[in-house]
Structure 1
Amino acid sequence: MKASKILVLAVAASAIATFVVFDLGRFLSLEALRQSQDALAAQYAANPWGLRAAYFALYVLVASLSLPGAVILTLAGGGVFGLGWGLLLVSFASSLGATVSFLAARFVLRDMVQARFGARLADINQGVARDGALYLFSLRLIPVVPFFVINLAMGLTTMRTRTFYWVSQLGMLAGTAVYVNAGTRLAELQSLKDIASPQLLGAFVLLGVFPLVAKALMNFIQQRKVYARWNAVRPQTFDRNLIVIGGGAGGLVSAYIAAAVKAKVTLVEAHKMGGDCLNYGCVPSKALIKSAKLAHQMQHAERYGLHSTPRTSDGRQNLFSFKAVMQRIHDVIAAIEPHDSVERYTGLGVEVLQGYAKIVNPWTVEIALNDGGKQTLTTRSIVIAAGARPFVPPLPGLDKVGYVTSDTLWDEFAKLDEVPKRLVVLGGGPIGCELAQSFARLGSAVTQVEMAPRIMAREDAEVSELAANALRADGVDLLTSHKALRCEIVNGEKVLVVEHAGVEKRIAFDQLLCAVGRSARLAGYGLEELGIPTHKTVQTNEYLQTIYPNIYAAGDVAGPYQFTHTAAHQAWYAAVNALFGDFKKFKADYSVIPWATFIDPEVARVGLNEQDAKEQGIAYEVTKYGIDDLDRAIADSEAHGFVKVLTVPGKDKILGVTIVGTHAGDLLAEYVLAMKHGLGLNKILGTIHTYPTLAEANKYAAGEWKRAHQPHKLLEWVRKFHDWKRG
């Protein structure tokens, strides 16, 4: 702790100790006030401004140190100065003293508290930013809540100082007036109970609750206002409890949950059930990655004591049929399709309609069926789970040269007799990196273009560097800090023109893959006509509600994460809130979100990495274990990568984990479980891990943390004990 903070604590502790040791509290009693009232009155008459200043300073001191006696001082204000001056002095002195206490707590403790509990306090900080003034005002009006507790607690939040001051000034005014007025009748008071009667306290509690009731009433009025223009078309009865738009992960889980709780639910999907993940994303890309990895292992079989597969004279691999590889990918999709099929979900109790859905009012959905028909349904609630599509940059000449995306390449490349000879990949995110490495391993001459200084920018710099080295080792010509300018056809050859450090460079290619991100599907669903705000995604609150409380969004269309597992995670909240929100609503929880990029070696992460922690100002310790030391990794010739764990300084509480290495996505699950349920590294270290497995890396990482936090003084005494035992 800094010397300045220690000094503040020392001054406060000394003042409090002086108050206690010298029993100064005896001067702040009702009896002592009565005995000194005449003397104070005489002094006030002789030197009114001097006494006012001394009284003001004393009140600020008592309030700032949270010393007992503020009530007696308030009574004294009324008894000595009268209602007018007493109210003025006490109101400003109490607010100023409370603010000093607030600032002291902030200066001494807030950084430490936010560093240790920042993740848990995130929701509180957001709530304070949104409604902090309202809640502080309510607390100030309820005298049963100790004000010093409020001062200290608010100092630990992100509330602005001036907001704290003016809300305290206003919120304490009513109670201050009551006590100052009581002080003007000091001779009549027998005890403080004569002031703080149950009736008065009850009145203040009701007064304090009023702003919260008013807020709820305002929310109700706002909801009625949102629905006002639709009241004429609101159905008296409804065809469905829930209509879900989109048959991807978010939509399927929403519909499944509704059917499981016996709600009448309709799922509308215009194209393929299973959405992007099954048909264009997770499933086909992982099937491709598996084939590419096996081809890579065959090419480097000498690492395993075997003969490598030879290449052709032009350096291309001669060990597979590209058509067969693409056919296998489609076979994998077909094998998984029944899990997400119309038949399966119909069997679960979900009505599945194939067509395009449009919301025409908050309770009505029109479906243009794929067979040419049309159906209109009314519903209590709606979940929009329309997903996202690849973003295609506005690159001049792009349409002329032609391109594929992560959605279209599976069908387009299936038409090819062989792997593309020269492939350009635009984008250095997870999708671009996975596909660039895979096609390079299958024999394409891959050039990957990224405008940013490094690939996988959401990861720590060392992870980006390791990923870049892995791609380059597989033959990818990785061009970072290169901006794509335009596409051209020169003498029948397709060319991408890029710029680097002010110099243009021309890259010839046969196929171009756009993998620069994905954008939410927002058009065509009636969102604009309903006035539902969208900015890159559908705007929702913490319950995944749009401005219409009965219309929800989940998955890629809602953000903030574009992962299949977060879409399914959000779908639970959206469906449960839509069906049971009248009784209880649940805030979507993003506290423990894992993800992985399936390059080789894999990159997996949950929680904070160093980059995030620094940006958010969160204190952390780093523990790192190199997988090159792991027995199973050595045996598998996969001895590269690391486990990096961020913990609270001095504690084993996990803030985040990054794993780079083979099967990193699988290894991460242990840390996801630990973080979700508040388990620290000591618990992981105390868990038996099968030998020899890759999972031992997690145990050894925990062991590295333990060694760095050995109780050295205790161990020195233990050494002396053993020396004594030996005689």
Structure 2
Amino acid sequence: MSARRLVLLGLIVALVAVFFLFDLGQYLSLEALKARQAALDAEVAAQPWRAAGLYLLVYVAVTALSLPGATLLTLVGGALFGLLGGTVLVSLASTLGATLAMLSSRFLLRDWVRSRFGGRLAAIDRGIAEEGAFYLFALRLVPIFPFFLINLAMGLTRLPARTFWWVSQLGMLPGTLVYVNAGRELGQLDSLGGILSPGLLGAFVLLGVFPLLARKLLAWLKARQVYAGWSKPQRFERNLVVIGAGAGGLVSAYIAAAVKARVTLIEKHKMGGDCLNTGCVPSKALIRSARLANELRRATALGFRNVAGEADFAAVMERVQRVIAQVEPHDSAERYTGLGVEVIEGEARITSPWTVEVDGRTLTTRAIIIAAGARPLLPEIPGLAAMQPYTSDTIWSLRDKPARLLVLGGGPIGCELSQAFQRLGCQVIQVERGARLLAREDADASAAVMARFRAEGIDLRLRHQVERFETLGGQRQLVARDRDSGAQVTIPFDVLLVALGRVANVEGYGVEALQLALRPNQTLETDEFLATRYPNIFAVGDVTGPYQFTHFAAHQAWYAAVNAMFGDFWRFKADYRVIPRATFTDPEVARVGLSEDEARRQGIACEVTRYGFAELDRAIADEAGHPDESSGYVKVLTEPGRDRILGATIVGEHAGDLLAEYVLAMKHNLGLNKILATVHTYPTLSEANKYAAGEWKRAHAPQGVLRALARFHRWRLGLGGRR
């Protein structure tokens, strides 16, 4: 650190130390100032300029050194100098002191912070460069953080000092006016009876409602900023237009129609979106057939002889289509039309914040919800396109059973489809770059799934980095690199399924024209109310994330629809605290809240309670031929010493169903003691949840009380202290 920085730092430390060592804060208490009010009033009356100068210096020093007392000094300014004089003095002093604090932070800390956290500050700098003045104005008008923290934090950015000055001057002025007015009223208080004076009551009312008024003003200013250049229609044909008829779009339209809004739903492909046509419904239909094929192979374990069966691959895939067709009416245009939704088939394009064009027809609307979904990721890999790869969208057209199916990806989609196709008679080779499957789950959950996969014959190739695809002598093959040995590996296959995740659909419907912001992962950026940069344009589901679950999209849709229709009066923040997830492999893996691995990585203290299915009567009875059927478990994370649930992971049959009890408990703050006290039907798998709660209770049994009870019972038996 340079000599100048050391001198400045030493001076600041010395001044702060003097303030606390000599307890100068006692002179900035309301009692002390009230006791000297008459003397202070006389000083101001006798020498107003001198008093104003001293007050200004004290206020600047307090704010520049980030000392406590600025709020009280603001009230004092109103009491001593009146509304006009106090407002001028406080406004000038607070801005000058804040700027000095900001410049000190910049001089002393910015270089050091940037040398260590430059990468993290880059995004902040971009935001400051784009709308730094507005961002600071928002913090000044409705302070989310204390002003002294804002001053120090802004010193670490590249916000120009002159911008900081004028924005602070303007942004703090309304609050200054309110507080100075309150101080003026307090200064005129002569008796307790004066507390009920209209002026003082009005001052306190202003203090209470100012944050609400400031938020409204801020929202109005921001709206003017983002809508500048757009022409708003005088009248609207609709309350809401929804783009995309997947889970998020369907629920949004349903809610709007339920409250009698005029809503239009636009879908360019198939109603029901990915979930109905290429995701949840077909994959679960496939898994059901695959599970039966697997059970037939192990019928002997249940006492059957001469049981045999061979999967008709084409018939299984046709059954998948029948299931889709059976569910389809639930999501059909006819059903939603009957509910009061106008359904339009066509390609939508947002042409302004209030207009959507569909095949040359322009619709005007007060609000828009984007539910455009996502599509499978096809990465840039040499030779991939020539392999004519299938994805989770297109695999359902397959009718000829591939002898060797290569699956790229070890996430939920890749794992579910790998096991299903293996059970239907394919030889599946699953390639994953990481060290294990289902990397977002706990290591023991991944281990249980991988053990089952290997037992069923899936060829797992973990820690393999894909390099290219090629065809030699008519044989398709993958060339990969074993990340452990460094050796190049060649893997022949017949059909390729790419399951490497999904990317949001953010092109082709007006995102670029409206300059809607994207996150680094290329999803639409939304705020806590699910609004984009335009307060009347919302996004839900896979297009915005952060989770890509059907039930999550439906959950978001409620908030977006309500905010779209009633947001001018009240908005609801989307609640992501309790979001369940399940992977429908065998064994199933289901989780809500924290996992054990996440808690460890984040340094969150917790207790882990585990109950294995090996001890559960129903799990033993339902063996279903699996030698390791009893290897499932319930694992619950709780706060140390308390029964409050932080997270739960269930591995085993029907884990997704069993998880619902923990979702309910976490949502409504019910602890393990409540679960333990709930009667569970015997014999069911749901008893595992009760027994897990019992394990926690046993570990927290009051040993002292139990010892006392043991002595009591011995005494009742007439044994006295004898054992």
Q: TM-score normalized by structure 2?
A: 0.76
Q: Within 5 A, what are the aligned runs for 1:115-264?
A: 162=152, 199=199, 203=203, 206=206, 213-231=213-231, 234-264=232-262
* 2:8 aligned partner: none
Going from structure 1 to structure 2, the CA distance change for 1:302 and 1:365 (only over 3 Å counts) comes to same
CA distance in 2, matches of 1:550, 1:227: 10
Residues 328 and 199 of structure 1, relative CA distance in 2, 3 Å threshold: same
> Which position in structure 2 is the counterpart of 1:689?
680
Report how far residue 612 of structure 1 moved: 2.2
Conserved in 1, the CA contact under 8 Å of 2:528 and 2:574? yes
Against the structure 1 CA distance between its residues 266 and 713, is the aligned structure 2 distance closer, same or farther, given a 3 Å change threshold? same
Query: Equivalents in 1 of 2:36, 2:60: separation in Å?
Result: 9
In the aligned structure 1, how far is the partner of 2:327 from the partner of 2:282? Answer: 11
Partner of 1:505: 489
**Deviations 1:555-584 (Å, cap 9, x if unpaired)?**
111211100001111111111111111222
User: Aligned match of 1:406 in 392, 400, 425?
Assistant: 392
Provide the secondary structure at the position in 2 that maps to 1:229: coil
Q: 1:617 aligns with which of 594, 597, 603?
A: 603
> Using a 3 Å threshold, how does the CA distance of structure 1 residues 634 and 226 change in structure 2: closer, same or farther?
same
**Aligned pair partner of 1:705 in 686, 690, 696:** 696
Corresponding residue to 2:451 among 469, 492, 496: 469
Partner of 1:457: 439
The answer (yes or no) to whether the contact 1:299–1:308 under 8 Å persists in 2 is no
Alignment of 1:170-569 (within 5 A): 199=199, 203=203, 206=206, 213-231=213-231, 234-307=232-305, 309=307, 319-368=310-359, 374-411=360-397, 413-414=398-399, 416=400, 419-501=401-483, 502-535=486-519, 536-569=522-555
Match of 1:577 in 2: 563
Q: Quote the residue 2:639 is aligned against.
A: 648
Deviation (angstroms), 1:286: 0.6
- Structure 1 position 303, deviation (Å): 2.0
> Residue by residue, what CA displacement relative to the aligned partner does 1:354-388 show, whole Å, maximum 9, x if unpaired?
111111111111112xxxxx432111111111111
Q: 1:295 to 1:159 in 2, by over 3 A?
A: farther
In structure 1, the gaps of 5 or more residues are 1-49, 100-129, 141-149, 311-317, 369-373
Q: For the residues of structure 2 that align with 1:381 and 1:365, how far apart are their CA atoms? A: 10
Q: Deviations over 1:637-660 (max 9, x none)?
A: 132211011111111111111000
Task: Give the letter aligned to residue 423 of structure 1.
Answer: L
Query: 1: CA distance between counterparts of 2:687 and 2:52?
Result: 73
Residues 195, 471 of structure 1: alpha-carbon distance in 2 compared, 3 angstrom cutoff: same
3-state SS, counterpart of residue 337 of structure 2: helix
2:574 — aligned with what? 588
Quote the Cα distance in structure 1 between the aligned partners of 2:261 and 2:245. 18
Q: Quote the offset at 1:427 in angstroms.
A: 0.5
Cα offset, 1:696, TM superposition: 0.2
- Superposed CA RMSD in Å reads 4.0
How far apart, in 2, do the equivalents of 1:320 and 1:52 lie? 80
Aligned position for 1:28: none
Q: CA deviation at 1:543?
A: 1.0
Counterpart AA for 2:603: G
Contact kept in structure 1, 2:408 and 2:500, CA below 8 Å:
yes
What whole-Å deviation, never above 9, does each CA across 1:447-491 have from its counterpart, x for those lacking one?
111112222111112212222212112111111211111100000
Residue 59 of structure 1 corresponds to which residue in structure 2?
Answer: 23
Alignment partners' CA distance in 2, 1:137 and 1:410: 56
Superposed CA offset, 1:294-341 (max 9, x none): 11111111221223756xxxxxxx612111111111111111111111
Secondary structure at 2:228 match in 1: helix
Q: Which one-letter code corresponds to 1:713 in the other structure?
A: G
Structure 1 residues 459 and 67 mapped into 2: Cα distance closer, same or farther (>3 Å)? farther
User: Which segment drifts farther, 318-327 or 352-361?
Assistant: 318-327
In structure 2, the CA distance between the partners of 1:548 and 1:61, relative to structure 1 (3 Å rule), is closer
Mapped partners of 1:280, 1:261: distance in 2: 31
- When residues 437 and 525 of structure 1 are mapped into structure 2, their CA distance, relative to the original with a 3 A threshold, is same
2-side partners of 1:336 and 1:176: how far apart? 61
Q: Report 1:622-641 matches (<5 A).
A: 622-637=608-623, 638-641=629-632
Q: What's the CA shift for 1:723?
A: 2.1
Distance 1:487 1:179, change over 3 A: closer
Output the CA distance in 2 between the equivalents of 1:215 and 1:176.
17
Q: With structure 1 as the length reference, what TM-score do the two structures score? A: 0.76
Is the 8 Å Cα contact of residues 437 and 599 (structure 1) preserved in structure 2? yes
**Is the 2:16–2:67 contact (alpha carbons within 8 Å) kept by the matching residues of 1?**
no
Shift in Å, 1:87: 7.0
Distance 1:70 1:309, change over 3 A: farther
Contact 2:635–2:692 (Cα < 8 Å) also in 1: yes
1:137–1:208 Cα contact (<8 Å) kept:
no
Instruction: Give 2:385's aligned amino acid.
Output: D
Q: 1:86 to 1:159 in 2, by over 3 A?
A: closer
CA distance 1:627–1:287, shift in 2 (3 Å): same
Q: Which moved more, 1:52-61 or 1:463-472?
A: 52-61
Q: What is the percentage of aligned positions where both structures have the same residue?
A: 56
One-letter amino acid matched to 2:554 = A
Contact conserved, 2:182 with 2:204, CA < 8 A, in 1? no
CA distance in 2, matches of 1:489, 1:435: 25
Taking the TM superposition and a 5 Å limit, the aligned residue runs for 1:27-106 are: 57-59=21-23, 71=33, 98=68
Task: Note closer, same or farther for the CA distance 1:721–1:193 as it changes in structure 2 (3 Å cut).
Answer: same
When structure 1 is superposed on structure 2, of 425-434 and 615-624 the one drifting more is: 615-624
Q: CA–CA distance in 1 between the matches of 2:178 and 2:364? A: 52
Deviations 1:117-163 (A, max 9, x none): xxxxxxxxxxxxx99998997899xxxxxxxxx9xxx89xx978956
**Which residue in the other structure is 1:670 paired with?**
661
Q: Within 2, Cα distance between the matches of 1:554 and 1:575? A: 10
The DSSP-based 3-state class of the residue aligned with 1:561 is coil
What does residue range 14-29 of structure 1 map to in structure 2 within 5 Å? none
* Distance of 2:16 and 2:371 partners within structure 1: 66
Distance 1:261 1:175, change over 3 A: closer
Q: What letter is aligned with 2:233?
A: P
SS in structure 2 at match of 1:392: coil
